Amino acid sequence: MKNSADVINADLKYICKELNEELISLSGKRVLITGGAGFLGYYLVQSILFWNKYNSEKKPITLVVYDNFIRGTPNWLKEIQDDKSLDVVKYDVIDQLPKNIGDFQYIIHAASIASPIYYRLNPIQTMDANVSGLRHLLDYCHNQKEKGKGVEGFLFYSTSEIYGDPDPNFIPTDETYRGNVSCTGPRACYDESKRYGETLCVNFAQQYDLPIRIVRPFNNYGPGLKITDGRALPDFARNVINNKDIVLLSDGSPSRTFCYVADAVVGYFKVMIKGKDGEAYNIGIDKPEITIRQLAENVILIANQLFDYKGTLVLEKSNDAEYLTDNPNRRCPIIDKAKNDLGYDPKIQLDDGLKRSLLWYADNNDVEEEN
């Protein structure tokens, strides 16, 4: 792989190969993705259209994307919005659903602010999307069932943040861990609204017998994650692209496992289609668990190989007094449930994923797109 086009093509082929059975089951169905213009939407949307293109003998999957485009319409979505299988609608999930919404067989609710920098700046909007927006969609599912047009699968994007800063005795962490979460701290708007969102999903699934499933993503990275997002890897990539030193605003000691987005997307579709109703699944990768400092050092080595990057690692202290407040010291999932129940098996290793990501960022380092 030499550039972002090679990366995207390889990733979409991989996703569709890993999801052959699942995507066939979506043939001829209508799918709604909220927040489809965001990071996770990048491959959720493109993988469906890619499958349609190379399976023309089958009925296409019809895809509708809802997004408020608060940060503009991304160029990748502009380039594909004329696809006859795709309908892109400007809509904010905190508003009542459009009257002409129609019938969907599958719904993916991915609309949410997910970067700590941005959800701390917009706490009310973050909670509204995760609670009010979710409730609108769950009510829709209930009403559709009452009409005899029930959805076949509903996927709610929760987060590994619902575990908070886990007790070391519960790391690696499985789905039964109840969490160690502040309900009033600077990250609480995101963590607690996702926890309540899960409660809504479980009770709708149980009370109305609805096919609602939940995913808890663990530190996804890769193509689609804006270079201005504010999370670790985009920041590192921006330093690399600008040929500046990589700056860490901490000692870099917190540790994570990092799951490449193509593997994560495979897991998300599997949960939506095959997951058990009212249950949550960790989706990530279980090894290696590395520190943020080690991640930065890996990026430096790979960037040197790819671009002859000469930058070094610099440790500084953030001016934001709450920068690290409630930041989990370790985050590492147990993914046995998704492996055993769904056949989820992430394969793209960290160095390969970092290489793909840096190649993608080299061609996608613009700031914010315009509407």
Active site residues: 190
Residue bearing tokens 């979710």 = 134
Burial label for 98, CB within 10 Å (0-12, 13-18, 19+), is exposed
HSE-up (13 A, CA, CB side) for residue 12: 20
- Report the alpha-carbon distance of residue 180 to residue 167 in Å, rounded: 7
Q: Contact, 31 vs 61, CB < 8 A? A: yes
* Residues present in the chain in total: 371
**Long-range contact pairs involving 296-301 (C-beta distance under 8 Å, separation at least 24):** 296/232, 296/236, 296/246, 296/248, 296/252, 298/350, 298/351, 298/354, 299/233, 299/236, 299/237, 299/240, 299/246, 299/354, 299/358, 300/246
Pairing relation of β-strands 246-248 and 313-315? Answer: parallel
Q: How far is CA 9 from CA 234, 271, 288, in A?
A: 21, 24, 26
Q: How far is CA 175 from CA 109, 155, 347, in A?
A: 20, 16, 21
Q: Contact, 109 vs 34, CB < 8 A? A: yes
- Report the alpha-carbon distance of residue 332 to residue 170 in Å, rounded: 10
